[in-house]
Each structure stands twice: as C-alpha cells, then as structure tokens.
Amino acid sequence: MGGAMRLKILRPVGIILTALLFEGCVNATVDEMTYNEPVAGIGESSVVILGRRHAPDYDTEFDFIECIGDHIHSGDPSIDVINEIAFINQFYPWFEPRTAPLQPQTIDQLLELPIVANQFAEMKLEYMIWIDGKTVDTDSVGSMSCGIGPGVAGCFGFGTWGTESEYEATIWDFTDKVEVGKVSAVTSGQSYMPAVIVPIPIIAPVQGTACDSLGDQLLEYLSAHH
C-alpha cells in the first residue's frame, strides 16, 4: 500500500465529500397572514399538524409534516406537537381523506360524539394546523451513461432538473373553531449532476427549505420565545 494507492482511494472520497458541500441554489417566497397570536405561547396545550390528502393527483407528504413538527419542537421544546399518524389512528375514521373536516366550524359536528370530544379534551389540543401542497420535479435535461467491468466502473455525462415546492399552512384555533392564519411557502431550485467517472450530485434542498420556511413562521406564531 504505497502513497499512490492511498491517493487513489482518497480521491473519490474527497470528490464525494466536496460534492456534499455543494448544494444547488433555492429561491423561497413566504407569505404570512395571522391573527390572534398567542403572545404568551400555548402553555401546556398541544398542537397537531396534519396533511391534506383529498386531492386526486397528490398527497401532502407524511415526511414533510414530520419535518415541520420536528422543526417547531426543536425551536421550542415546550411546544407539544402531536405525531400526525398517531393522531389520525387515534381518531379513526374522522381524519381520513374522505372525512377530514375542511372548515373549522365543522369540528363542532365531531364534538357531538362524546367519545371524540373526550379524546380532544384529554389531549388539550389548542391548534390544528393543516398543510396542503406538494413537491414536484419539473423539467430535466442532460444525459449520462455508465459502464461497469471487472474492477472498473464509471459514468460520464451531465444532468440537471428543477424542483418546485408549494405548501400552504392553515391554522385553526381549536378552542374557538376559527381560522386564525395562513402561511404559505413557495420554493424552487435547480439540481445538477455532473459525472466524470463518479457522479457528483449537487442537490437543491427545495423541500427542506420549504419545511424550514413554514416551520419558522409557525414557530414564530406559536412560541412565546420567538
């Protein structure tokens, strides 16, 4: 194992590490319109963040909802964010795509069921936040070819594609059954993948930026410390 051999091993590792340092650029636009902000925070009450999934051509991603929940909880650990899947299962079948309330006023109909009302009371739910949107890959161009042989493998080419995220968060005050705000985030970015033997992905964190943008705005609304 001479120095040349060590260099041969280190070179691709170095390329990959360098690639990880690169990220494609992302443009983000955030709009916010909120009312009745809880100035002192939400205390011991809890918040649930739910994705809308009644559209025919897309579902708001479960991992995106989890990302926003994690972002809020890590920004202010005193905010109790209820896990979406646990909530949907606990309240089955009242928050399925077919049955989920579309207006805050319709929650009253749900609360007419004593067993549902008791569960909500136990949960001390103060805010229900609905996220509607999706992330999609748009135009892609370029080509890449890869070959593999005994002891040798490699790719050559260049590819690029765009990604767009568009999400809107609607905040419902669960106590008063009214909508108290809307926050939207539209992000877009271009990712690149040049390949000279090793493909180097330069990924634009479009969905992650949308998550951070929405998460920051929601944190600002819910937390007394932001």
Partner 1 sequence: MGVASLVSTTSGLEHVRIGRWLLLLCLTLLGTGCASKQVVVEGNFPTPLLDPLPITLGVIYPQAFAEHEFFDEAKGRTETDWLVKTGEAQVTFWDKVFTGMFDEVVHIRDWETVLAHGADIDGVIIPAISDLQYTIPTHTNVKIYEIWMRYEFRLVDISAIHQQDDGALTVNPDERLAAWPVTAYGKTPTAFLQTDEEAVNLAAVVALRDAGAHFITTFGATPDIAVWLDNIANGISQNDTIPTPESGDVPVPVPPKEADAPEVKENPTATAAQTDSVS
Q: Which part of the chain contacts partner 1 (CB under 8 A), choosing from 42-50, 71-79, 123-131, 149-157?
A: 149-157
Say how many residues touch partner 1, by CB under 8 A: 26
- Judged by beta carbon, residue 2 or residue 93, the one nearer partner 1 is 93
Rg (CA), the chain: 23
Q: Which of 7, 9, 17, 113 binds partner 1 (CB under 8 A)?
A: 113
Query: Is 211 in contact with 68 (CB distance < 8 Å)?
Result: yes
Q: Compute φ and ψ for 171, nearest 5 degrees.
A: -100, 125
- Contact between 150 and partner 1 by CB under 8 A: the answer reads yes
Residue 224, strand partner residues = none
- Contact between 112 and partner 1 by CB under 8 A: the answer reads no
Chain centroid to CA 205: 11
Of residues 155, 166, 159, 167, the one with CA closest to residue 139: 159
Query: Is 95 in contact with 10 (CB distance < 8 Å)?
Result: no
Residue 59 to residue 107: CA distance in whole angstroms: 22
Q: Which of 21, 98, 139, 143 binds partner 1 (CB under 8 A)?
A: 98
Q: Which of 111, 116, 123, 198 binds partner 1 (CB under 8 A)?
A: 116
Q: Per-residue x/- mask for partner 1, residues 14 to 33, rule CB under 8 A?
A: --------------------
- Judged by beta carbon, residue 105 or residue 118, the one nearer partner 1 is 118
Of residues 214, 140, 144, 205, the one with CA closest to residue 183: 214
Residues near partner 1, by CB under 8 A: 57-59, 61, 89-94, 96-99, 113-116, 119, 145-150, 152
